[in-house]
Chain A
Amino acid sequence: MMMFSRLLAASCAAFVLSVLAPVTAHAGPTVTLSGPASVTAGARFTVDVRAADVADLYAYQFDLGFDSAMFRLDGAQEGAFLASAGPTLFDPGTVAGEPGTLSFLFATLLGPTAGVDGDGILATLHFTSLAVGSSVFELGNLVLLDAALNDIPATIGQLAVTAVPEPASWALMLAGGALLVLRRRHPAGAGRVHA
């Protein structure tokens, strides 16, 4: 029964969060996370870190917080946005230290070149879902720099992801639900006389 409640709660959460995510964009430069609102437990998925409405972006750095009991970070790779302006130096950051925090992922252009303008993917993060439930991915320690190495203020977004059971678990859950309905309509003790 408890398992059923948890699965039901996860399903509801998936619906609600899918309505809420992604977070509404604001005017001016933004850095948002885009990825599936719902994933199957045990499945792999990717989250893109996307910049929008930036001008002369030369370098970026961010941390990412996530629930390490629910998700495992398998790796990170540089997006094509910054590299479209020339050679870059990219570092996928480290997960050492605080559990569930990717620290100091960064990339910078090299040399006396102009930065990039507009929208594009900064980095793609690869995750594996470990357990059923919901969690929010949050950016932190975000720094965007222009070619003069001045800070570019930006609004940051977050991403809510719910891990739902595998199909076999759904079938089991539905079967269990049907059984419960039947038990309520035809209680086991119906018609018996109690002394």
Chain B
Amino acid sequence: MKTFKTLLQCSALSTALAVCPWVQAQSTAEFQRHMEASTRNTGGDPSLVQSWRAFYCNLPDDNNRIVLEQRARNVIRMPLTRLFDDVWYIGSEYVGTYIIKNERGFVMIDSGNNAQEVETYTVPALRSLGLSASLPLNAVLLTHGHGDHDGGMNYLRTNLGAIAYLGAADATGKAYQPATWVSTDRAPKNVTIAGVPVTVLATPGHTPGATAYVIEAHDKGKPVRLFVSGGSSMQAAAPLIRDYLDSMERTYALVKGQKIDSASNPHVYWDGSVNLVKKIQAEGLRSPSQFIIGNEKLLRALAVGRECTAAWLARQDAATSVPVWRVSALDFLPATPSPNRLAARLSNGWGPLALQQVSFRVNADGAVCTATTDASGVATCPVPAGLRAGKDRVTATFEGGTGPGIVDLGSETTAMVDFGCNDLLAVKAIIGARRNTAAYVPRLDVDGSGVIDIRDVSAIARLIPAGLSCNA
């Protein structure tokens, strides 16, 4: 009866939800569920904790101070830095632009803060890369219509003749007369801009016209896809947060579908790109580029951001409830896949995932076996006949699942068939690494002690077939 009365009161006070204890409690629980997920989904990866988690969650964390601190770094210039064969960054430690070069000239993503900055830094940088009448700046793809992203566009249009592209919802009153993307069309669009293959994705939320891009670049001649985010900070109004949440979820789907493994943001601090740029400056551009972080990590990062967004939505709109996204990790057991054993463990930030289906496929079109995970999250399949070490690759896949208020995201892992030598040398290389440090690899911490030591090395060494020396 008391509950019924409370429900009645809740209905009666529907215009003042914030004062209804029941809704408040629901909202708090919803908020906390998503905040917890945002942390657990990092998997303890320090680069995700310190950048993606910190900045996407700055508002629900009541920690907007860290964004303001980064804004002050707009005065610290970062020189032109090559990220891939044909992509460069130039700007500050706060915000900047990406330059793509091809045989027809240049395409930029965002135009910088203002005309003076463009004239002083960007144009000389373009000239150093070959800007000329035969290699002009053809286009500028704007992520959104805020001044720190399109402030240099008038200059670039007037002086270099570049065409601006901008989400239509941000385009009103823009003097540089942009060509526009349809902001209400939420499906990704594949286009070619001045010879550069681009996937365009409307990602409203930061602004109504925010637009993300996927650029096809090259890393030592190999095609790679670079995702560039359309906006960073969330707004306070619930409808815009809902848009932001929807944009995060569609971005996740795009990154998963295209298997994108590198990301950047014009606000280079937001996703840790600033650290990758500095790393390249310090140690030179490596192969693969330091900007390639892998599809699995990028998906994990986006899921972290999605949970921060869901938490912020719960804070701003007590009546909203969306399921928690849980990132799953699928890892081959140490020294597998081998010609003797085929087993993988499925887990997430909450623990092992039992009673889930995991499929194993040999090469792209070989044998497939599906197994159910046990209480430890381990799925084991019989080894197909003729599995060859050093020649065959095995892919394990978890398609994902749902439960009450929960979405377990799918995951996948691929490895070369090996007798365990690869894992043995890998664990040797990270001896001493501790949990929550960059070098630490959870699947190689066989005893789960949080530190890689001789117990982990020997646990893998025991699985090496007799007589094999691993050339160690």
Contact = CB atoms under 8 A, between A and B. Distances in A.
Nearest to A107: B454
Interface string A65-104: 0000000000000000000001111110010000000011
A108 B454 CA distance: 8
A60 B454 contact: yes
Interface in B408-440: 424, 428, 431-432
B125 interface: no
A110 B461 contact: yes
B340 to A, nearest CB: 11
A110 B465 CA distance: 8
A61 B14 CA distance: 66
A106 B459 CA distance: 14
Given A59-B457, A111-B464, A112-B462, A106 B469 contact: no
B455 A91 contact: no
Contact of A89 (B453, B455, B457, B465): B457
B282 interface: no
A110 to B, nearest CB: 5
A112 B459 CA distance: 10
Contact of B461 (A103, A104, A111): A111
A89 B461 contact: yes
B455 A149 contact: yes
A91 B428 contact: yes
B466 interface: yes
B461 A108 contact: yes
A87 B454 CA distance: 16
A106 B454 contact: yes
Number of chain B interface residues as a range: 20 to 34
B221 interface: no
A106 B464 CA distance: 17
A113 B457 CA distance: 15
B439 to A, nearest CB: 12
A88 B464 CA distance: 11
Contacts of A59: 454, 457-458, 461
A87 B458 contact: no
Contacts of B465: 111
Among B454, B464, B466, B468, max chain A CB count under 10 A is at B454
B455 A111 contact: no
A149 B464 contact: no
B454 A89 contact: no
Looking at B428, B431, B458, which has the most chain A CB atoms within 10 Å of its CB? B458
B467 A149 contact: no
A130 interface: no
B466 A149 contact: no
Interface string A104-122: 1010111111000000000
A145 B386 CA distance: 35
B467 A104 contact: no
A88 to B, nearest CB: 8
B454 A143 contact: yes
A89 B472 contact: yes
Nearest to B433: A104
B129 to A, nearest CB: 39
Contacts of B453: 61, 104, 143
Contacts of B454: 59-61, 104, 106, 108, 143, 145
Nearest to A151: B455
B470 interface: yes
A66 B137 CA distance: 61
Contact of B457 (A103, A106, A112): A106
13 contacts: A60-B454, A61-B453, A86-B466, A87-B470, A89-B428, A89-B457, A103-B432, A106-B454, A109-B458, A110-B470, A111-B462, A113-B466, A149-B459
Interface of B: 424, 428, 431-432, 453-455, 457-459, 461-462, 464-470, 472
Given A58-B458, A60-B454, A61-B454, 11 more contacts: A59-B458, A87-B468, A88-B472, A89-B461, A89-B472, A103-B432, A104-B454, A111-B467, A112-B466, A143-B454, A145-B454
Top 3 A-B pairs, shortest CB-CB distance: A61-B454, A87-B469, A59-B458
